[in-house]
Chain A
């Protein structure tokens, strides 16, 4: 049973470009969460999704950021028109139920905006 898979592991984008981060949850997990870790900061919740539904996006910036978890395929975190302040590590986690078994994290995608 493979763990949570994120790709790419490292992503470099110029200011104004789009960044797409992918996350495949563990097999059997239907809950996906995205977190952001800014330099010298703790992990901050961004969004919680189930298949084809955004359940809680209270941590998402209001503009330029969007997330989806389609019926087929990985969850995607999309950042449009990236700025230097978007540089961070973005982590995806999945769980099988309502956190009764805890969350399992991927290796993260490190986004650098130049």
Chain B
């Protein structure tokens, strides 16, 4: 059974810091991995999608890496801003299954 863990559960940083969010999964037979952002009381916004054959994806100040063999992904946020404050969710899809398995998220607060 696939399990996804995100560490830390919460993170508070001053504006301008570079930071790393971690995601680990127990079954390396994944189809892809997706990072989402969730604002309080809102839906999920897709940030980055990494296919199992890829090592990383970049979008603006965000960079996500994937090491499938070790069951890890990191989301790197450069030059953090208060507007980055949100909960960041990691989710994996298994080969042969349409389910996304989510971690519980990392709640990020960027202080001005």
Contact = CB atoms under 8 A, between A and B. Distances in A.
Interface of A: 6, 31, 33, 35, 41-45, 48, 55-56, 58-59, 91, 93, 98-108, 110
B98 A55 contact: yes
Given A91-B44, A107-B43, A101 B49 contact: yes
A76 to B, nearest CB: 18
A56 B98 contact: yes
B43 A108 contact: yes
Interface residues of B, number: 25
A44 B103 CA distance: 10
B76 interface: no
Contacts of B44: 43, 91, 93, 105
A102 B32 contact: yes
B20 interface: no
A33 B97 CA distance: 12
B93 interface: yes
Given A41-B104, A91-B44, A100 B97 contact: no
A1 to B, nearest CB: 14
Nearest to A92: B43
